[in-house]
Amino acid sequence: MRLIFIGPPGAGKGTQAKVVCNYFNLQHISSGDLLREAIASSSPEGEKAKQFIEKGLLVPDEIVVKIVAERIRKIKGFVLDGFPRTLTQAEFLDRTLDSLSISLDRVFNFTVSLSKVIERLSGRRICSNCNAIYHIKNIPPRKEGICDRCGGRLVQREDDKEETVRKRLKVYQKISQPLIEYYKKKGVLVNVDGNMEVQELFERIKESLRRYDTH
């Protein structure tokens, strides 16, 4: 099964992607995580991407598609989280999937209120080692500042600071509509309410995927 999660930062895509991947045995491909890994390893793509991410801007298509395509070619079932973000990326993805003779099953469009986004992102912490996601109030780690899973250090993403979040939201609002229309026309779009709690939203997504559910 191949899914896409579209939505503004803080809509809960990453958290939900982990739950859905675990249940349906899919791989989570987060373009943001892949870019942060490229930055951490000081690859040429990472060096270029860094300046855009820090400013809350989109990384140029050619850098992102290269990184994501490498990952997609290696795996069968996935949740794409944060990719595509532009029509060029969506068209590129179609060509890549066509060349592998596979297609998309669903595109979930997460909507969320501004106040929820600010609340979620200002409290979000991620593991600097395994990318696990926490929230200082809603999903606190057992030991403050330490990842439950791997013992890695929890950090606040530089671009989760409020000013950059507002910038990222503006960027999202500007670019998202054509993408949503694109997938609506293809008949694969499902709107979901990102304000919901994790489990409640998962039930909603699971319901929409029940024909794939072999549990």
The residues carrying an active-site annotation are 13, 85, 124, 157, 168
Selected from 28, 85, 124, 125, the binder of ligand AMP by CB under 6 A is 85
Site for ligand AMP in 163-192 (CB under 6 A): 168
CB count, 10 Å around CB of 92? 20
What is the CB-side half-sphere exposure of residue 61 using CA atoms within 13 A? 11
The whole-angstrom distance between residue 150's C-alpha and the CA centroid of its chain comes to 21
Q: Under the criterion CB under 6 A, does residue 79 sit at the interface with ligand AMP?
A: no
Measuring CA to CA, which residue among 72, 61, 63 is closest to residue 30? 72
Only one of the segments 58-66, 111-119, 123-131, 141-149 lies at the binding site for ligand AMP (rule: CB under 6 A); that segment is 58-66
CB count, 10 Å around CB of 123? 16
C-alpha 86/C-alpha 176 separation (Å) is 7
Query: Rounded to the nearest whole angstrom, what is the least distance from the CB of residue 112 to ligand AMP in the complex?
Result: 13
Site for ligand AMP in 16-35 (CB under 6 A): 31-32, 35
- Tell me which residue has its CB nearest to ligand AMP: 32
Selected from 59, 93, 107, 179, the binder of ligand AMP by CB under 6 A is 59
Question: Contact, 77 vs 26, CB < 8 A?
Answer: yes
Measuring CA to CA, which residue among 67, 121, 87 is closest to residue 6? 87
Q: Which is nearer to ligand AMP, 106 or 168 (CB)?
A: 168
Q: Under the criterion CB under 6 A, does residue 53 sit at the interface with ligand AMP?
A: yes
Residues that bind ligand AMP (CB under 6 A): 9, 31-32, 35, 52-53, 56-59, 64, 82-85, 89, 159, 168
